[in-house]
Structure 1
Amino acid sequence: MLLAMASETEKAHALLQSFSTASVISSLGLGFFCFVADRLLQFSVIQQNDWLRALSDNTVHGVVGFWSWAIVIGLKKKSDFTEVILAGFLSSVIDVDHFVLAGSLSLQAALTLPRRPFLHCSTVIPLVCLTLKFIMHLFKLKDSWCFLPWMLFISWTSHHVRDGIRHGLWICPFGKTAPLPYWLYVAITASLPHLCSFIMYLTGTRELMATKHGMRIDV
């Protein structure tokens, strides 16, 4: 019983670490970054150049994914930067499906698609994350790579939510929602790292990552 109580105490402290003052301030900073970045993207010099607009928009996607995962893990060690860079890459690489659907490397073709490409279907996110989790369990990678499904979840979800302010969310096979209100997009993006941390706590993943990332868990 004492061991069980100690385990629950460790989990509780791991959860509290997810909602530390530093992480909350970082989340507010993320929301502010989204607001400023989206305003900067409206400048005519960016909007009038397709390449500059596409690269700038994709870069913001990457930074949001990078920042979101940094909040989750806390950036305690130099090696953590590898993870946050991967998270940023996963958040921005989704847009490659525009070129896949277009069947061309032409930016103009990628920007004038008749329908939304497959990786922009929000139903894909839980399916891919669960499949990845199953594969990791099958190959006994669930401890050393326990973070990967959650990183994918937060990176792709942040991308979809940001796109949602213009196009809504595409939820197969039910269709798409109305465009998200801007305040809701900012609120979801800022709170997403904490939501992810809470789910990780419920599934025990947060406890495994405490050792990997040196997250402080006091008993």
Structure 2
Amino acid sequence: MLHAMASETEKAHALLQTFSTASVISSLGLGFFCFVVDQLQQFSYIQQNDWLRALSDNAVHGVVGMWSWAIVIGLRKKSDFTEVTLAGFLSSVIDVDHFFLAGTLSLKAALTLPRRPILHCSTVIPVMALTLKFIMHLFRLKDSWCFLPWMLFISWTSHHVRDGIRHGLWICPFGKTAPLPYWLYVAITASLPHLCSFIMYLTGTRELMSIKHGIHIDV
């Protein structure tokens, strides 16, 4: 009975953290950051320099991924920064597929591809997340690494949504959408951490995450 009470308490804490005041403010801050940094990237000095434009754009992808995951976990311990850094890396590393498709390290070739590379297909995100979840279950890593499929999901989705304001979303085999309205991109990016957290709560993952990231339950 005590175990059941603890479990319910953990779930309640997990749900409250998902929509806490701090997380909502952080999400609004994320949306504001996206707006400001996208305006800064329109400066002619950045747009006229391929390397500066590519590096700054990739860096923003990384920061958005880090910020999104920080909202999910709450940044309670120093070790949490390792996860946040990993989320930023996952959000940025997608762009490597430009060079793979180009078959060269030439930035100009990577920026002028005849088609989009495979990691920019949004259908890949749930496929990779589910595959990762299956592999973790196979190797009995589902508790200690339970966050990894969700981290990949939120990091890659934030990248795709941001790219969507220019190119739309590529949902193979159905084709691609029209470019996303800017307001929709900002709204999705700001709400994505909460949506991800809520689904994690429904699946029980959020309970494990809450314990892992420092919520203590007294029974």
Mapped to 1, the partners of 2:143 and 2:156 lie a distance apart of: 22
Mapped to 2, the partners of 1:58 and 1:216 lie a distance apart of: 37
Q: Shift of the alpha carbon at 1:10?
A: 2.5
Q: SS of the residue aligned with 1:170?
A: coil
Q: SS of the residue aligned with 1:175?
A: coil
Contact 2:6 2:217 in 1 (8 A): no
1:133 maps to amino acid: K
Mapped to 1, the partners of 2:216 and 2:123 lie a distance apart of: 35
Aligned to 1:17: 17
Q: 1:218 to 1:163 in 2, by over 3 A?
A: farther
2:132 paired with 1:132: yes
Q: 1:218 to 1:61 in 2, by over 3 A?
A: farther
Cα offsets for 1:143-196 (capped at 9, x unmatched) = 110000000000000000000000000001000001000000000000000001
TM-score of the two chains, using structure 1 as the length reference: 0.96
Contact 1:98 1:113 in 2 (8 A): yes
Give % identity.
90
1:99 maps to amino acid: F
Contact 2:10 2:211 in 1 (8 A): no
Q: Shift of the alpha carbon at 1:7?
A: 2.5
Aligned to 1:156: 156
Deviates more, 1:4-13 or 1:86-95: 4-13
2:192 maps to amino acid: L
2:202 paired with 1:206: no
1:203 maps to amino acid: T
Contact 1:17 1:216 in 2 (8 A): no
Cα offsets for 1:43-92 (capped at 9, x unmatched) = 00000000000000000000000000000000000010010000000000
Regions of 4+ moved over 6 Å: none
Unaligned runs of 5+ in 2: none
Q: How well do the aligned residues superpose, as a CA RMSD in angstroms? A: 1.4
Q: 1:119 to 1:217 in 2, by over 3 A?
A: farther
Mapped to 2, the partners of 1:64 and 1:95 lie a distance apart of: 15
1:141 maps to amino acid: L
Q: SS of the residue aligned with 2:56?
A: helix
Q: 1:216 to 1:53 in 2, by over 3 A?
A: farther
Unaligned runs of 5+ in 1: none
Contact 2:73 2:213 in 1 (8 A): yes
Equivalences for 1:58-73 in 2 at 5 Å? 58-73=58-73
Mapped to 2, the partners of 1:6 and 1:80 lie a distance apart of: 24
Equivalences for 1:143-182 in 2 at 5 Å? 143-182=143-182
Mapped to 2, the partners of 1:151 and 1:100 lie a distance apart of: 24
